[in-house]
Structure 1
């Protein structure tokens, strides 16, 4: 998922029309408490006016110093100056090649309007993409564009080379001055000068610590909080801030990668909007776009706390989240796999299949010179024959290669994945890969078997390289939701073998071989009729001590049609084979969410597609209007309306069934 927020300015002669979002309301409330940073804001003002000889501003400093708040103030100033803003939060970028470039694709000036202002927040999550920004993205922006990057670390050395030192201005954030610290405390209700002075001394100018210290004082009257870290102080603050009515909201926020109103509707259907608003007001919750996430320094303490105090409820809510992300995945939203992977706790699986953002590495396509770097490294480590079989893919099948890079742009690993379309190329240059593919085709003549030909981590220090590469491959390969995976593993590589075994893989002795004097094992992972998505869901279920839904519990097109007919009836919908969850209401809500999500994914934006969508939604989802009334309102003859409705039902049924079954 790529989360961007576009804000229109006010070009001369017209006033843009823009809906106000939940995110807008959150930001307005947060900015009402913003204080200080006058020097940084002044520099931004100069850049905005074109009087600064720098166009890229790099705001950096440790967590808790208010970088995101400062960027939001700058965005508001830019909007008031009539500049369109393009906001990207790095926390929401998927680990796939081109994610950064795609996120900034709309950051171009439109006819006659000033160049936009680009904001990239939480850059530490994608710090390794700096080279991509410098070489491929920022040079394509209009010359009058202003770019503001916020992150925890100073810009790396690449931002000082090739002329970038004449473009980039650093804005390091320090602790707030005393006057600003006192103003922030006053904004949080601390007006007693003596109390504010003691709290300000304790917090040492950190906006987050000041906010939490204010909460601790209001809760306990303590002006010198005993905890000496922000994460420990969180325990004191939440005693005051935690309304028992919103225990579940905090639990969901602790478990999920990010929280939206839509996600809360799945877990807390009777209080989603109120829960979202409550979370947004917490001092320890960050907002970006229309999503919320716990601040990094308190996420683990929160999760440990809710697990310790409410283990049964944590299990219930995590299962509901698992079902929701699984439902989105089978309905066609592959990005939900990132959220589903986030729920996995098993160390052997997290090591090889997960992504949480990385300041050190990112995934990319093959570029000139990559083969030489990877080949040199593998050859030096005694894998000359293995590399000789892998190298042809770089030139002959680059689409089957995903490269991991460090911040300098150097390859630090790769993943080579094969599907049936690669067999002719393998026959010519990689007999081992061809043998694996032929076996895969025997397993699945319809092409739902994938060969993980190679995954290499050249760093080897427990880094995120392998986990990032594997998840990236799943998100971009042409076989969606594979049934089988064949994974070669050198016999000495115990971590890969443990990963395969934990995923249910078994060795296939007849496929074993030897490269560079080392035995290469081959594991077959059979994900079952429901494919990889079901396996991901079942891993989470088993971690929770729950029995996964019965294997082979697929549903048919008739089941989908029956669910549409029962859409308004909780009892009938809860009995549908599509249902997941505990209790009639939860199971019915799951089916409704699955159907609505499938409609959004299946139907496009043309006039014909709009008619299909309208006929289906108004007949089944809304008030079940009569056929005649719907046909008249759509200006269609009765016969044409029924053709549209029948086509819509058929397509929706096929979409859901094909996503669920082989």
Structure 2
């Protein structure tokens, strides 16, 4: 009989049973606590930490179930309900001080101000045979490792679920469609909370699983609920404009806020963000929890799309300038503004993979799945042994290697690699074309453990590409050469403008090698990513020597004097408006089609009493038809400025 139908099962028992049935993964963490309780390891205090929604509390419930099944007594305390008084804390700890027992203190961050007193009381009160598990969002500071405690304290940073465990969780939640599961796993980043909220929301409304739009998350109700679960009431203490910027920008500092909110509350806004428990401090900068950031961004994009576009473009302009003039690694923050999920770059870390350098044993792993006597394997060995700084390894979460690639620039290319068939033809091509010094070369790529599906492949590529940029192996070169083994759909490479060079097709001991090249433009990959953002947000492609993008930006802010003063068209606001009106008059002819396009543009943007709704009503168009016409009209205006 199902547990919910058993007569003697209480509501609490039912909740516990369902919780156990839906819990997946975390085998290493559970084993560590079990071994500590059994006395087979010296750890007595386990400090579990990680961002909201990653499953810390669920892990604690699983650990408690394991302990109870093993015959141990379990005591649970919550930092939110404990009185911050030393005598009260001592009484609570004394009540839990059983031999060979497990004490779990959740939300330990709530006692941060008393952490020294909490530590001292635990040391004094708890028997050496007991195990204490502390749970919070913040990592433990040195307080927990002083006075020799490092011998009995172990830190566990809880990471998102891996790909396989995330799929298993969705399956246990009743979601079985492979395509939907793949999208939800990518959107959630492996967060158990996000997966549960999305699955439950769809089940409650019985409308099927929500399909995530590109890079912005899933159904709006799901995003709102997730923001509430992660942020709670503390978000009400943050200036709404500042919170919007924190949702758009992956990392916020005073300069980002000033660029996105001219004249806004920069210093106070940054302090408000720093005080959030859902924000991570990165030196002088701060980043919202990834899923909270996604939820805030999705809400803004759906409720105020014009403001969303404005904040994205202001942030993109700012990051583009800093990436080109100060730190090329800011490209990854710029890439986070791209909505197309196929972009093979990412600011956020992977959930199933992480980047690393080549280490002892990696070549052995390659030799187990590939022929170590092949000529290419010998050349790979030379790279790993004599130029390891050029080799980038992508590893599974457990540390085993999944793939590798060699990244070279003319300055880093060793003389002994001049004849290597994987890279030499591409180098020669760049030299003949006269842009060798502006090029980088990705080659000698090897898959050691193939990804299970296209979603894992996409994450593997994002992790590897992003690490290449973060490590400086790729910077702002104009040309990129990519050599791969075997013909395949290039997928994400197409988005970055890579095209095959047929004249460089070649064979090597039965392997077919293909080389692709991309001309990213004068500003390299940074400029190309910025152009993608422009096309997504402004609805027009960036064209060299064209004022099209500037015209569209001025069009969108036609009645905003402050915005027109900041635009790239010279003149005061009235002069800029005159330029836009003249461009609109010149862009459209007298034919009926042009007349409709012109009317859509003028009524939507130029007329004081206009707007999208009046324009659509006057043109008697459906919503989708109106926006298609408006898109065509904007593109016509942009094209006319070439």
**Superposition TM-score, scaled by structure 2 size:** 0.50
Point out which structure has higher relative CO (alpha carbons under 8 A, 6+ apart).
1
**1:286 maps to 2:279:** yes
Residue of structure 1 equivalent to 2:495:
502
- Residue 348 of structure 1 aligns to a residue whose secondary structure is coil
CA contact (8 A) 2:259 2:318 kept: yes
- How many residues in Structure 1 have an aligned counterpart in Structure 2? 385
Q: CA deviation at 1:405?
A: 1.8
Gaps of 5+ in 2: 1-32, 34-41, 58-77, 81-105, 121-134, 140-144, 163-196, 198-219, 547-561, 570-642
**Superposition TM-score, scaled by structure 1 size:** 0.49
CA contact (8 A) 2:250 2:347 kept: no
Gaps of 5+ in 1: 1-42, 44-51, 84-118, 124-139, 156-208, 210-226, 554-580, 589-662
CA contact (8 A) 2:535 2:542 kept: no
Q: For each residue in 1:290-340, what CA deviation from the matched residue of structure 2 results, as whole angstroms up to 9, or x when unmatched?
A: 544444554444333221111111111111111111111112213312211
CA contact (8 A) 1:120 1:150 kept: no
Residue of structure 2 equivalent to 1:257:
250
Residue of structure 2 equivalent to 1:397:
387
The 2-side partners of 1:287 and 1:418 are apart by: 34
Residue of structure 1 equivalent to 2:634:
none
Pick the aligned partner of 2:299 from 305, 309, 331.
305
Residue of structure 2 equivalent to 1:584:
565
The 2-side partners of 1:524 and 1:154 are apart by: 36
Cα RMSD for the two superposed structures = 4.8
**1:470 maps to 2:465:** yes
Residue of structure 1 equivalent to 2:188:
none
Residue of structure 1 equivalent to 2:484:
489
Q: CA deviation at 1:53?
A: 5.8
User: Within 5 A, what are the aligned runs for 1:332-481?
Assistant: 332-349=326-343, 352-379=344-371, 386-420=376-410, 421-427=412-418, 430-444=420-434, 447-457=437-447, 458-461=449-452, 462-463=455-456, 464-477=459-472, 480-481=475-476
Q: CA deviation at 1:236?
A: 11
- Residue 58 of structure 1 aligns to a residue whose secondary structure is strand
The 2-side partners of 1:311 and 1:276 are apart by: 24
CA contact (8 A) 2:333 2:347 kept: no
Pick the aligned partner of 1:536 from 511, 514, 529.
529
Q: CA deviation at 1:416?
A: 0.7
- Residue 583 of structure 1 aligns to a residue whose secondary structure is helix
**Taking structure 1 as reference, are residues 329 and 80 closer, same or farther at Cα in structure 2, changes over 3 Å only?**
farther
CA contact (8 A) 2:230 2:292 kept: no
**Taking structure 1 as reference, are residues 375 and 586 closer, same or farther at Cα in structure 2, changes over 3 Å only?**
farther
CA contact (8 A) 1:487 1:523 kept: yes
Q: For each residue in 1:82-107, what CA deviation from the matched residue of structure 2 results, as whole angstroms up to 9, or x when unmatched?
A: 99xxxxxxxxxxxxxxxxxxxxxxxx
The 1-side partners of 2:227 and 2:465 are apart by: 35
- Residue 538 of structure 2 aligns to a residue whose secondary structure is coil
The 2-side partners of 1:414 and 1:120 are apart by: 35
- Residue 492 of structure 1 aligns to a residue whose secondary structure is coil
The 1-side partners of 2:320 and 2:223 are apart by: 35
Q: For each residue in 1:571-608, what CA deviation from the matched residue of structure 2 results, as whole angstroms up to 9, or x when unmatched?
A: xxxxxxxxxx96334779xxxxxxxxxxxxxxxxxxxx
CA contact (8 A) 2:422 2:513 kept: no
Q: CA deviation at 1:288?
A: 3.0
**Taking structure 1 as reference, are residues 365 and 55 closer, same or farther at Cα in structure 2, changes over 3 Å only?**
farther
User: Within 5 A, what are the aligned runs for 1:269-284?
Assistant: 269-273=262-266, 274-276=268-270
Residue of structure 2 equivalent to 1:18:
none
- Residue 431 of structure 1 aligns to a residue whose secondary structure is coil
The 2-side partners of 1:239 and 1:477 are apart by: 39
The 2-side partners of 1:499 and 1:469 are apart by: 13
Q: CA deviation at 1:342?
A: 1.2
Residue of structure 1 equivalent to 2:592:
none
**Taking structure 1 as reference, are residues 143 and 493 closer, same or farther at Cα in structure 2, changes over 3 Å only?**
farther
- Residue 394 of structure 1 aligns to a residue whose secondary structure is helix
Q: CA deviation at 1:356?
A: 1.6
Structure (1 or 2) with the larger CA radius of gyration: 2
CA contact (8 A) 1:362 1:405 kept: yes
- Residue 491 of structure 2 aligns to a residue whose secondary structure is helix
Q: CA deviation at 1:401?
A: 0.2
